[in-house]
């Protein structure tokens, strides 16, 4: 053991094979009980228990059984999992528990996408990506709290990469995440909840009353990830909250006369990215509690600082509450004077700066985790980031003036690149003025935004700030590239075509037909909602298709192609994507062409199931179905 290693800690295991895997659902109380059992066995002189401790605790072979203490058993269990100490195990397990109480998790992804993500973790480690190293240091027990260089010095296994993916999505393990995936999308799309949401949005009292009579739980049932957040109310209000719809207040009042919305409004006040001030005001006026603390232990204000991406919206919450004392909170509120108190006279972070650091995974889906053993620069980065998200320029000045590098890229991109990508003109102006480097990636992003929004004044101004070329030159080159390039294909198209090949093989065909392609599209996870919106009854459709939707998967011939009619359909779908100026061929385009073609067998299946191509087309156009998954 190194002489500089903290008391009660051991060195990080060199290899994944040196540790045992965590349980699928880690439980701290269980580990406390296991430590007490191990201690009892040690004091009884149990040979197996003694061997376990001797393998992990230096100098323990010289002790008599009665000399062992609970701390020795705890240390042994922690080291068997790979943690450097028992306190590190406790910290990790408490974080797992907090993430489980932090709200919604994505239950609709395909497993292949998550497998690909895991492979990218291994690749990122191989190319020494700092963000990947921070994720590994936050989620892999034997690397927990280790420095970036220590993470790079170790190998990473596939199981460890999978654990990172699961933990990024707030699951305790890969197995727990896979088991939680929603399997029957058709049942969900046709559920009483979906029908009730439609009734609420149409303010159809008769339909809602009938549904509630048959399913009274609709008025109280909450999301298992968000206790008290009534699924019906949340689903019915979510779109209006996000878009700050004119009828939002009326809809809240209408729902409030039929169910208790208090807890649901609190959950909704936690917000989302780009939360508009009007939505915050509306929620507060309708009874949302700005002082509420979510089950994960974080207040509304702390969520708002990370989620709203709007200083104006955050201030609406802040004026009602006393903010917690933390460096990142002060930064997110724009309190430069408070931020300064976290530095000593030499400009070094004080110990208080490391207190109450943000758990970004708990606070906002999609944020990378916090390494518990991060250096001072990373701690300051957390404050710099939340200040930038809320455009608190006084705080950014204070941190840059204390030596924080304006071009720091802790999450794989600089704040300037983030600002350009989100079209935050004031932040881009500020950063360029403070000397941020406009590299090739930033300039490319600025040009890309102009091609996406050619008439947008902010996009053109940002390009000019970045020293870019004349927007008309950029647009002309983009048009020429569009005319000459081959359009990309969404991964979901590949998935649907693979399902179609399987269906064709089961039908004894040598090529994919339009019917098989339709079946393939139906098996995509996002299809059920659109079909149900188009009037299709899932049970009747499954009967009409005679089990083809539930057939087991297998690997079809790799060289199998489509027949001439289906090939023509796909070409027509590509042309439709070009007409819409979409940059990629998506299932949406294929579905639109398939509905317009009115293939007899496909039409028979749809009509026998209660749907119509016109209603399906309407649902497709309204939702811009399956963008590019």
Which CATH number does the domain housing residue 515 bear? 1.10.1780.10
Q: What's the pLDDT tens digit per position in 84-99?
A: 999 999 999 999 999 9
Scan for tokens 């919305």, then name that residue.
Answer: 261
Band of pLDDT at residue 578, cut at 50, 70 and 90: confident
Picking from 484, 499, 518, the residue at the C-terminal end of a domain is 484
Do 132 and 219 belong to one domain? no
Do 480 and 504 belong to one domain? no
- Would you say residue 62 lies in a domain? yes
CB atoms within 10 A of CB 214: 9
Residue 585's beta-bridge partner residues? 489
Do 510 and 527 belong to one domain? yes
Q: What is the pLDDT of residue 410?
A: 77
Residue 299's beta-bridge partner residues? 293
Band of pLDDT at residue 110, cut at 50, 70 and 90: low
The number of C-alpha atoms within 13 Å of 262 and in the hemisphere containing its C-beta is 4
Band of pLDDT at residue 183, cut at 50, 70 and 90: low
Do 13 and 142 belong to one domain? yes
CB 528 within 8 A of CB 619: no
Band of pLDDT at residue 388, cut at 50, 70 and 90: very high
Q: What is the pLDDT of residue 479?
A: 83
- Would you say residue 34 lies in a domain? yes
Average pLDDT over residues 103-124: 84
- Would you say residue 590 lies in a domain? yes
Its domain, for residue 560, covers: 488-623
Residue 232, classified by CB atoms within 10 Å of its CB into exposed (0-12), middle (13-18) or buried (19+), is buried
Q: What's the pLDDT tens digit per position in 441-472?
A: 999 999 999 998 899 999 999 999 999 999 99
- Would you say residue 309 lies in a domain? no
Q: What are the residues whose beta carbons fall under 8 Å from the beta carbon of 498, sequence distance 6 or more? A: 520, 556
Picking from 183, 216, 249, the residue at the C-terminal end of a domain is 183
CB 312 within 8 A of CB 391: no
What is the total count of domains within the chain? 4
CB 507 within 8 A of CB 481: no
Q: Which of 318-332, 484-498, 509-523 has the lowest mean pLDDT?
A: 484-498
Do 478 and 510 belong to one domain? no
Band of pLDDT at residue 2, cut at 50, 70 and 90: very low
Do 6 and 81 belong to one domain? yes
Q: What is the pLDDT of residue 240?
A: 85
Band of pLDDT at residue 12, cut at 50, 70 and 90: low
Which tokens hold the place of 98? Answer: 């907090």
Q: What is the pLDDT of residue 8?
A: 53
Q: What is the pLDDT of residue 3?
A: 35
Q: Per-residue pLDDT for 295 more than 50? A: yes
Average pLDDT over residues 549-575: 92
For the chain, the distance separating the N- and C-terminal CA atoms, rounded to the nearest angstrom, is 48
Residues in the chain: 629
Average pLDDT over residues 149-164: 94
Q: Per-residue pLDDT for 561 more than 70? A: yes
Residue 212, phi-psi category: left (phi > 0), alpha (psi -120 to 50), beta (remainder): alpha
Q: Per-residue pLDDT for 627 more than 50? A: no
Do 177 and 216 belong to one domain? no
CB atoms within 10 A of CB 1: 10
Which tokens hold the place of 457? Answer: 């004044």
Band of pLDDT at residue 626, cut at 50, 70 and 90: very low
Which tokens hold the place of 306? Answer: 């990370």
- Would you say residue 302 lies in a domain? no
Q: What is the pLDDT of residue 629?
A: 32
Q: Which of 590, 569, 587, 593 is nearest to 625 (CA)?
A: 587
Q: Please state the φ and ψ torsions of residue 474, each to the nearest 5 degrees.
A: -60, -45
Do 36 and 108 belong to one domain? yes
Q: Which of 105-119, 361-375, 392-406, 522-536 has the lowest mean pLDDT?
A: 105-119
Q: What is the pLDDT of residue 205?
A: 86
Q: Which of 274, 276, 278 is nearest to 249 (CA)?
A: 278
Band of pLDDT at residue 187, cut at 50, 70 and 90: confident
CB 474 within 8 A of CB 480: no
- Would you say residue 297 lies in a domain? no
Q: Which of 1-10, 57-66, 206-215, 483-492 has the lowest mean pLDDT?
A: 1-10
Q: What is the pLDDT of residue 452?
A: 86
H or E element: which one contains 148?
Answer: helix 148-152
User: Which long-range CB contacts under 8 A does 244-251 form with residues at least 24 apart?
Assistant: 244/276, 244/278, 244/279, 244/282, 248/279, 248/282, 249/282, 249/285, 249/286, 251/200, 251/201, 251/203
- Would you say residue 31 lies in a domain? yes
Q: Which of 3-17, 34-48, 150-164, 299-313 has the lowest mean pLDDT?
A: 3-17
Q: What is the pLDDT of residue 105?
A: 84
Do 249 and 151 belong to one domain? no
Average pLDDT over residues 347-364: 94
Do 79 and 165 belong to one domain? yes
CATH of the domain at 475: 1.25.40
Q: What is the pLDDT of residue 6?
A: 41
pTM for this model (two decimals): 0.85
Band of pLDDT at residue 10, cut at 50, 70 and 90: low
Q: What is the pLDDT of residue 153?
A: 93
Q: What's the pLDDT tens digit per position in 418-439?
A: 999 999 999 999 999 999 999 9
For residue 562, the 8-state DSSP code is: B
Q: Per-residue pLDDT for 499 more than 50? A: yes
**Percent of residues, the chain, with pLDDT higher than 90:** 71
Distance CA 226, CA 228 (A): 6
Do 509 and 462 belong to one domain? no
Scan for tokens 């006393």, then name that residue.
Answer: 322
Q: Per-residue pLDDT for 104 more than 90? A: no
CB 459 within 8 A of CB 425: no
User: Which long-range CB contacts under 8 A does 599-603 form with residues at least 24 apart?
Assistant: 599/514, 599/515, 599/518, 601/514, 601/515, 602/514, 602/515, 602/518
Average pLDDT over residues 244-251: 84
Do 494 and 548 belong to one domain? yes
Picking from 287, 319, 349, the residue at the C-terminal end of a domain is 287
- Would you say residue 318 lies in a domain? no
Q: What is the pLDDT of residue 13?
A: 59
Q: Per-residue pLDDT for 377 more than 60? A: yes
């Amino acid at each position: 053991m190194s002489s500089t290693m903290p008391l009660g800690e051991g060195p990080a295991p060199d290899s994944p094979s040196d540790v045992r895997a965590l349980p699928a659902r880690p439980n701290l109380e269980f580990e406390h009980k296991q430590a007490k059992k191990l201690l009892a066995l040690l004091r009884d002189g149990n040979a197996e228990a003694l061997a376990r401790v001797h393998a992990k605790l230096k100098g323990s072979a010289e002790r008599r059984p009665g000399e062992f203490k609970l701390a020795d058993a705890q240390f042994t269990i922690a080291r068997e999992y790979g943690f450097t100490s028992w306190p590190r195990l406790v910290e990790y397990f408490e974080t797992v528990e907090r993430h489980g109480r932090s709200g919604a998790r994505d239950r609709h992804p395909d497993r292949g996408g998550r497998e690909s993500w895991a492979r990218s973790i291994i690749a990122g480690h191989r190319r020494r990506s700092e963000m990947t190293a921070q994720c590994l240091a936050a989620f892999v027990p034997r690397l927990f709290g280790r420095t970036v260089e220590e993470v790079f010095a170790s190998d990473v296994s596939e199981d460890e990469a999978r654990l990172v993916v699961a933990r990024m999505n707030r699951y305790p393990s890969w197995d727990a995440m896979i088991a939680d995936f929603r399997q029957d999308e058709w049942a969900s799309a046709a559920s009483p909840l979906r029908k009730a949401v439609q009734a609420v949005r149409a303010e159809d009292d008769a339909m809602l009353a009938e549904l509630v009579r048959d399913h009274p739980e609709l008025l109280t049932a909450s999301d298992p990830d968000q206790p008290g957040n009534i699924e019906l109310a949340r689903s019915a209000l979510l779109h209006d909250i996000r878009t700050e719809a004119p009828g939002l207040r009326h809809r809240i009042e209408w729902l409030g006369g039929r169910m208790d919305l208090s807890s649901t409004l609190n959950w909704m006040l936690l917000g989302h990215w780009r939360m508009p001030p009007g939505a915050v005001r509306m929620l507060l006026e309708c009874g949302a509690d700005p002082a509420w603390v979510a089950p994960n232990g974080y207040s509304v204000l702390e969520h708002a600082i990370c989620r709203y991406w709007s200083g104006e919206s955050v201030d609406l919450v802040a004026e009602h509450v006393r903010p917690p004392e933390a460096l990142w909170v002060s930064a997110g509120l724009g309190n430069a004077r408070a931020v300064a108190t976290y530095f000593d006279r030499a400009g070094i972070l004080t110990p208080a700066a490391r207190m109450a650091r943000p758990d970004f995974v708990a606070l906002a889906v999609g944020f990378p985790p916090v390494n518990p053993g991060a250096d001072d620069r990373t701690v300051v980065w957390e404050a710099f980031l939340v200040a930038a998200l809320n455009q608190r320029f006084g705080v950014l000045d204070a941190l840059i003036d204390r030596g924080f590098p304006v071009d720091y890229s802790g999450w794989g991109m600089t704040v300037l690149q983030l600002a350009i990508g989100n079209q935050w003109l004031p932040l881009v102006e500020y950063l360029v003025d403070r000397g941020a480097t406009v590299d090739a990636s930033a300039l490319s992003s600025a040009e890309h935004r102009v091609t996406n929004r050619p008439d947008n004044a902010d996009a053109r101004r940002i390009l000019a700030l970045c020293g870019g070329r004349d927007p008309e030159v950029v647009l002309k080159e983009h048009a020429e590239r569009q005319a000459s390039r081959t359009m990309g294909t969404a991964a979901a198209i590949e998935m649907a075509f693979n399902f179609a090949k399987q269906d064709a093989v089961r039908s004894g065909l040598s090529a994919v037909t339009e019917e098989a392609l339709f079946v393939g599209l139906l098996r995509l996870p996002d299809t059920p909602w659109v079909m149900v919106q188009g009037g299709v009854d899932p049970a009747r459709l499954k009967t009409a298709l005679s089990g083809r939707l539930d057939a087991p998967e297998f690997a079809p011939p790799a060289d199998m192609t489509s027949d001439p009619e289906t090939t023509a359909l796909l070409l027509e779908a590509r042309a439709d994507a070009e007409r819409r100026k979409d940059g990629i061929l998506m299932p949406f385009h294929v579905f639109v062409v398939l509905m317009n073609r009115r293939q007899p067998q496909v039409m028979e299946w749809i009509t026998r199931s209660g749907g119509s191509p016109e209603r399906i087309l309407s649902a497709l156009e309204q939702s811009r179905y399956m963008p590019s998954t």
